[in-house]
Every structure is written in C-alpha cells, then in structure tokens.
Copies of this chain bind each other. A is one copy, B any other.
Amino acid sequence: MGLRERKKRETRQRIADVAMGLFAARGFDDVTVAEVARAADVSVNTVFNYFPAKEDLFLDRRDWAEGRPEEVVRQREPGESVVRAFRRDVLDAIATRSWRYGFNEGSDVFTGMVRESPTLLARVREFHVEREEALAAALARESGAGGDDVTPRVVAAQILGATRALSDYAVRRMLAGEAWSSIEPALKEQTERAFDLLEHGLGG
C-alpha cells in the first residue's frame, strides 16, 4: 500500500473519529459539517469527498456490511429451516452480546442518538429496507421461487420484523437503565416466543 492510500485512509478515519466525538458531545443535529471539517483540519469539500452525506459520518455505510441476513441463510446447517437458522443466530447474538442485532452495550446510546435525529432515523430505516430486500432476494434464490411470488418478501419481512422488535425490546430496557444480566433471560424468552410465532403461525 503506497503513501497515497495510507494517507487517504488516515484522513478518512480522522474525519470520522473527530465527527463522532463532536456528535457524542453535542448531538448530531447540533454539529455542522463545517465544524467537523475545521476540527479535522480539512476543508468542507474534503469531508463530502469521503462521506456522501452528513449521516454517513455517523452511520458509516461500511460498518453495515457485517451481520448480513443473507449470510445466515447461506451458512445455515444442512436440513435446517431458515427460521430456525435465524432463531439460532439471534440467540447466539444475545449470548455473545453481538453487535449485529443491537445487543451491544453501547447500542442504547447509539439508538438514543439516532432517535434524536430525523435524518439518522431515516437512514437507519433505509438500511432496514436494504437488508429486507437482500434477504428476500436470497430467499428467492434459495427456494427457486420465480419473480412472481410474494413469499420471499413476506418471509423476509416477517423475520426481520421479529428481529427488529427484539432489538427494540432490548434497547428499551437498556435505556431504562437495566443491567444486561437482568435483561438477558427475558430477552431469550421473548426471542423464543417471537420465533415460535414465526414458525407456528398466529392462529389465535
């Protein structure tokens, strides 16, 4: 890697770090891009050169590649149904306190900041839609369903809807100040319940 690449990486990282610091201190909406640029010792144009929009300083598009739902589908055990694979993945994420469903320690302050800003909220929802489309596409591929079948989209919406509800549940209790140790068992229980609903239907 040449000097050029390295410098670019450094600059990008410095801007992102400086921005996150300012956002954490004063909130996303109360920090201007000009301030970020000044603090990072670059011009405003350079900031926009690396990050297409202000939101990307907070929610870097690169970070969202991790924990893609298609991978859960692809890497499931032989004979395992997709829903079972997701149940396992969510439970695993809870046990390991993984970042990918928002079962992290910091995900409450993260969510808190996102909730404050309409811009960030919109971006997060955009990510949700992208994830859902990606999962639906993976399911369609997997099941060989034609383009004329809503099933993959419905299933994708159901699964990711459930995981979102579970994330929200965990975050809500975190924001209420509860310790993880008191949240975890209830969260596991809710997860089982949610996935039972998915598997066996909402007959009642």
Contact = CB atoms under 8 A, between A and B. Distances in A.
A150 interface: yes
Interface in A56-110: 81-83
A150 B171 CA distance: 12
A155 interface: yes
Contacts of A20: none
B200 A83 contact: no
Contact of A154 (B161, B186, B199): B161
A193 B115 CA distance: 36
Greatest chain B CB density within 10 A among A82, A149, A161, A168 is at: A161
A142 B130 CA distance: 32
- Specify how many copies of this chain sit in the oligomer: 2
A50 interface: no
Interface in A116-140: 121-122, 125-126, 129
B161 A204 contact: no
Interface in A19-48: none
User: Closest 10 A-B residue pairs measured CB to CB?
Assistant: A157-B161, A201-B201, A153-B165, A122-B122, A200-B201, A150-B190, A125-B125, A154-B194, A199-B201, A154-B165
